[in-house]
Amino acid sequence: MHRRFARSFAFAQDDNCMASEIRVRFAPSPTGYLHIGGARTALFNWLFTRHHGGKFVLRIEDTDRTRNIEEAMAAICDGLQWLGLNWDEGPHIGGDFGPYLQSERTELYESYLKKLQDGGHIFEDQGALRFRSPREHVIVDDLVCGKIDFDLSNEQTHPDMTIRRPDGSWIFHFVNVIDDMEMKISHVIRGEDHLSNTPKHIEIFRALGAMPPHYAHIPLILNKDGSKMSKRDEGASVEYYIKRGYLPAAVRNYLCLLGWSPKDNREKINIEEIIRLFDLNNVGRSQATFDPDKLHWLNGEYARELSDSEFYALALTKLKSSGVKIDNYPEQYIQSALQTCKGKINTFDKLLAYCGFYFTDDFDYNPEGVAKHFTAENKPRLKAVRDAFSALQSFDAAEIETTLKTTAANLGVKVGAIVHPTRLAVSGSNIGPSLYHLLEVLGKEKVLARIDRALSKFF
């Protein structure tokens, strides 16, 4: 009830000031990696502006004076770009409200500090500067959480916040507010961990005589075990998915589904459609657990939808980065080899294990497969396959299929009985691409050699 009222109220305000542009920001600190939760926050900000037609600002909150800011910032920018979350203002591209690194905005903070001091809002405490709270109730009218009444009247439970350290460096609460004000941010969309900070931020806006922006606090993303996803957790950074060969569109789609839903049972939705449907009033309020399995499935959905050339390009890149000596093989060979893998793997990090046998003769044989298929009774069968193959003129998938089937019939066994030993002999694995096509790609010579090798090695 409260929530709905709060929302209509907030949007009524928007309607009254149509002139003011919608401006949102993503304001990470340069930790050196893009957290998956941060990426989702950035994504929701981005979706919100793309839906309403506003500006998406990237601001780096580097008040901590870390070294290697360039490097740490690059990880974040790369992650955002990989996800397709382009910013309209910020590092690299500038804008009318820069600079976009807090470390370069000190004079601005000084001047606002002066204003606050002149207004009697600041006092010194052992060399640090604190903001004196007016000690009132502050109502946060949140677009996702509804109206929340915070009672800040008790100094014991809500001490005056520090805004500047004795060494002159700034505290997040202060610079964050100043920047949102100066950059004319209209909607602050951020993680729910900031909800309790919001009344304090509003106090600063008021002390400066400014209107606070609209707030929207989105639920946090948790680990499988219910704990907060932290840097140490596997899969907590976007980079992890880049390295594993996930598709950005799939990761982005998955992230959208955490705390937001199209409400019509669709899971795989293209980004244009999401932009069309997305709004703050259909963002959920409860925390979501990150489910790697579902992401993996969704990635497979996207992977299967890739065109042949897209798949080939991505697969080739992956093979090269995996150290496969690709130059030793003709392009046509590589192409047909990779084509047999299309639609079979959900993520590209599985590619090498799936098709490595195409690019080396020196592969391992799966032990369970050996125990199961390289049996005494299968020896004559594998020999029969070998002989049948050697008699073939054209070694194409159709011929191979026919040959295997007639061979099986002659032996009085099901085709599976000879398929498995053959696959194992030529690829070392009991899973893989379609055997008929795989054999065609490998070519008669290699196939016969590998069968011979298996025959002499295991029987």
Partner RNA sequence: GGCGCGUUCGUCUAGUGGCUAGGACACAGCCCUCUCAAGGCUGGUGCACGGGUUCGACUCCCGUACGCGCUGCCA
Task: Pick between residue 9 and residue 331 the one whose CB is nearest to RNA.
Answer: 9
Interaction residues for RNA, span 28-47 (CB under 7 A): 28-29
Least distance from C-beta 385 to RNA, angstroms? Answer: 12
Q: Does 220 bind RNA (CB under 7 A)?
A: yes
Name residue, tokens 């590092």: 91
Q: Are the C-beta atoms of residues 418 and 381 closer than 8 Å to each other?
A: yes
- Torsion, Cα 310 316 317 319, to 10 degrees, reads 140
User: How far is residue 261 CA from its own chain's centroid?
Assistant: 18
Q: Is 113 helix (H, G, I), strand (E, B) or coil?
A: helix
Distance CA 265, CA 243 (A): 30
In terms of Cα–Cα distance, which of 84, 68, 8, 85 is closest to 33? 68
Return the residue of 420, 425, 442, 448 that touches RNA, per CB under 7 A.
Answer: 420
Return the residue of 67, 70, 157, 445 that touches RNA, per CB under 7 A.
Answer: 157
Q: Does 314 bind RNA (CB under 7 A)?
A: no
Task: Pick between residue 71 and residue 149 the one whose CB is nearest to RNA.
Answer: 149
Return the residue of 346, 347, 378, 407 that touches RNA, per CB under 7 A.
Answer: 346
Contact range with RNA by CB under 7 A, out of 167-175, 309-317, 320-328, 376-384: 167-175
Per the structure block, which two tokens stand in for 260? 């937001």
Return the residue of 53, 209, 226, 323 that touches RNA, per CB under 7 A.
Answer: 226
Least distance from C-beta 327 to RNA, angstroms? Answer: 28
In 145-299, beta strands by DSSP E: 146-151, 162-164, 187-191, 214-218, 221-222, 288-289
Contact range with RNA by CB under 7 A, out of 17-25, 88-96, 106-114, 426-434: 426-434
Element (H, E) at 56: strand 55-58
Contact range with RNA by CB under 7 A, out of 56-64, 75-83, 307-315, 373-381: 56-64
Q: Does 168 bind RNA (CB under 7 A)?
A: no
Q: Does 300 bind RNA (CB under 7 A)?
A: yes
Q: Does 294 bind RNA (CB under 7 A)?
A: yes
Farthest CA pair distance, the chain = 99
* The residue type at 189: I
Element (H, E) at 251: helix 248-256
Q: Are the C-beta atoms of residues 213 and 186 closer than 8 Å to each other?
A: yes
Q: Does 101 bind RNA (CB under 7 A)?
A: no
Least distance from C-beta 179 to RNA, angstroms? Answer: 10
Pairing of strands 122-125, 55-58: unpaired
Per the structure block, which two tokens stand in for 2? 């409260």
Q: Does 366 bind RNA (CB under 7 A)?
A: no
Q: Does 138 bind RNA (CB under 7 A)?
A: no
Contact range with RNA by CB under 7 A, out of 105-113, 242-250, 283-291, 382-390: 283-291
- Whether 383 is catalytic is no
Q: Are the C-beta atoms of residues 237 and 34 closer than 8 Å to each other?
A: yes
Least distance from C-beta 158 to RNA, angstroms? Answer: 7
231, 294, 325, 457: which one is catalytic?
Answer: 231
Contact range with RNA by CB under 7 A, out of 43-51, 318-326, 375-383, 432-440: 432-440
Specify which residues 125 forms β-bridges with. Answer: 128
Least distance from C-beta 345 to RNA, angstroms? Answer: 7
Return the residue of 430, 444, 449, 452 that touches RNA, per CB under 7 A.
Answer: 430
Contacts of 449 (CB under 8 A, 6+ apart): 361
Instruction: Report DSSP state, residue 328.
Output: G
Task: Pick between residue 195 and residue 448 the one whose CB is nearest to RNA.
Answer: 195
Interaction residues for RNA, span 263-282 (CB under 7 A): 263, 265, 267, 282
Name residue, tokens 């959905």: 301
Return the residue of 244, 437, 444, 446 that touches RNA, per CB under 7 A.
Answer: 437
Name residue, tokens 């002390």: 207
Task: Pick between residue 22 and residue 397 the one whose CB is nearest to RNA.
Answer: 397
Q: Does 12 bind RNA (CB under 7 A)?
A: no
Distance CA 64, CA 30 (A): 9
How many residues sit in the footprint of RNA (CB under 7 A)?
Answer: 82
Q: Just list the catalytic residues.
A: 231
